[in-house]
Amino acid sequence: MDAATILPVIFAGLMLAGVFFYIIFDGYDLGVGLLFPFMKKREDRDKMIATIDPFWDANETWIVLGIGVIFIAFPQAYGDILVALYIPTVTMLAGLILRGAAFVLRHKAQENHREMWDKLFCLGSYIATISQGVMIGLYATGLNHTPANWVFALCIGIALCFGYIILGSAWLIFKSEGHIRLFATKAIKHSIFLAFLAIVLVSMAMPYTSSIIYQKWFSMPNIIYLSPIPILCLILAFIIFKNIKFIEKDTSYKRDWVPYLLSVLIVLCTFIGFGYSMFPYIIIDKLNIWEASSAPKSLEFVLWGVVLVLPVILLYTFYVHKIFGGKIVHDREVGY
């Protein structure tokens, strides 16, 4: 295979990886924002935020890599996709700006404004999450703006809220203590049910919105090859469910990281499924990755950077998570 054939495939993989890392990282901190309405006391919300404080800026950066790979590798598709997704993109950005500003200002701003910033952090998280879901929904159905596609996309938006709440509460179990940790166990139990309900509904709606994806999944023998993906998701969810019982009973339980790891694996499964559904298209049924890709010379140049730098990024990301390993206790003296 020559460079022009293989490079777009590599970059399609990288794009998926970028978005995957974005979702597992920013997913949990968006999830924490989504959980805000269920926390009445300000100090509890402070404890929740403390768990994401050191990571927030880096988490946010992954979206730039995800979108970055599209504009580096598939400039043709980048414009088409974002032009078609103009409205949800604007609302997502509005949500992200709001919650970003709220995130830094909730501590630094005047005492009497803090309640407002908490509300805006929460509101921004909902707007951003739902918009992202709508973007995914419209993207998966080929960027056609029919009413059916929009309803489908809005459903994905709501489903994504549950998804991020799963990540967020699994994160809180991992990084917090006491009643926050217990609250998170309840949140994860509810949201797993609702998320699966949403997934079933979405699967039922699929044939009406995207026949290509439907055929890819529900024709013989594909359905047999692909069945491990949903089955694995169910098994993982079941293990989380079982695991929660131990966490609830035992305050000194040593494996609080299990739900988060398993949630990440669920996201990974859905990503493999999503990648399979899309491949080799970058815009389903319209534009494939080879038609949309940059010149091989440009991709090669970037690939050098990726090969040399991405491992370093992952290494220091891991190192920083290690520095802030274990339970994070809210302490006004530590941060700025």
Partner 1 sequence: MELDPIVLARIQFAINISVHILFPSITIALGWILLFFKLRYKKTQNEQWMNAYNFWVKIFALSFAIGIVTGVTMSFQFGTNWPGFMEKTGNISGPLLGYEVLTAFFLEATFLGVMLFGQKRVSPFVHNLATFLVAAGTTFSAFWIIALNSWMQTPAGYVMIDGVVHVTSWWEAIFNPSFLTRLAHMLLASGLTATFIVAGISAYQIMKGDPADSTRKSLNVCVVAAAVLIPLQIFVGDMSGLLVREHQPDKLAAIEAVWKTESPAGLSLIAFPNEKTRSNDFDIKIPYLGSIILTHSLDGEIKGLNEFKEHPPVAIVFWSFRIMAGVGFLMLLVSWMGTAQLMRKKEIGPKMLKAFFVMTFSGWVAVLFGWYTTEIGRQPWMIYNLITTAETAAPHGVSVMTTSLLIYCLIYAFVLISYFSALFYLANRTVKNNIALEKQGA
CA distance 65 to 71: 10
Decide whether 265 or 310 has the Cβ nearer to partner 1: 310
CB of 324 to partner 1, least distance (A): 7
Cis before 230 (ω within 30): no
Distances (CA, A) of 14 to 264, 307, 335: 17, 11, 34
Cβ nearer to partner 1, comparing 2 with 331 = 331
CB of 38 to partner 1, least distance (A): 25
Q: Least distance from C-beta 81 to partner 1, angstroms?
A: 7
- Nearer residue to partner 1 within complex by CB, 31 or 66: 66
- Site residue total, partner 1 (CB under 8 A): 65
Token pair belonging to 195: 């998320």
Pair of tokens at residue 198: 């949403």
**Which residues neighbour 88 within 8 Å (Cβ) at sequence distance 6 or greater?**
131, 132, 134, 135, 138, 153
Q: Look up residue 37 and give its two tokens.
A: 């309405």
Name residues contacting partner 1, limited to 91-130 (CB under 8 A).
Answer: 91, 93-94, 96-98, 100-101, 103-105, 108-110
Q: Which residue has the tokens 């909902």?
A: 126
Minimum gap (Å) between residue 112 Cβ and partner 1: 11
Residue 204's Cβ-count burial label (10 Å; 0-12, 13-18, 19+) is exposed
Q: Which is nearer to partner 1, 197 or 309 (CB)?
A: 309
Q: Which of 13, 37, 38, 57 binds partner 1 (CB under 8 A)?
A: 57
From the list 32, 81, 180, 262, which residue makes contact with partner 1 (rule: CB under 8 A)?
Answer: 81
R_g of the chain computed on alpha carbons: 20
3 near partner 1 (CB under 8 A): no
Paired with 131 in beta bridges are none
* 288 backbone dihedrals φ, ψ, rounded to 5°: -95, 170
Residue 54 makes contact with partner 1 by CB under 8 A:
yes
Q: Give whichever of 62 and 162 is closer to partner 1, judged by the CB atom.
A: 62
Helix (H) or strand (E) segment spanning residue 229: helix 228-249
Residues 201-260 that bind partner 1 (CB under 8 A): none
Where in 286-325 is the site for partner 1 (CB under 8 A)? 294-295, 297-298, 301-302, 305-306, 309-310, 313, 316-317, 320, 323-324
Q: How far is the CB of 71 from partner 1 (least distance, A)?
A: 5
Part of the chain binding partner 1 (CB under 8 A), chosen from 36-44, 50-58, 193-201, 230-238 = 50-58
Q: Rounded distance, CA 259 to CA 236, Å? A: 9
Q: How far is the CB of 169 from partner 1 (least distance, A)?
A: 22
Question: By the 8 A CB rule, do 33 and 124 touch?
Answer: yes
Cβ atoms within 10 A of the Cβ of 217, count?
A: 19
Q: Least distance to partner 1 from the beta carbon of 153, Å?
A: 17
71 binds partner 1 (CB under 8 A): yes
Question: Comparing C-alpha atoms, which of 234, 238, 167, 225 is closest to residue 199?
Answer: 234
CA distance 288 to 56: 34
Q: Which of 53, 125, 256, 277 binds partner 1 (CB under 8 A)?
A: 53
Q: Which residues bind partner 1 (CB under 8 A)?
A: 53-58, 60-61, 63-65, 67-73, 75-76, 78-83, 85-87, 89-91, 93-94, 96-98, 100-101, 103-105, 108-110, 294-295, 297-298, 301-302, 305-306, 309-310, 313, 316-317, 320, 323-324, 333-336
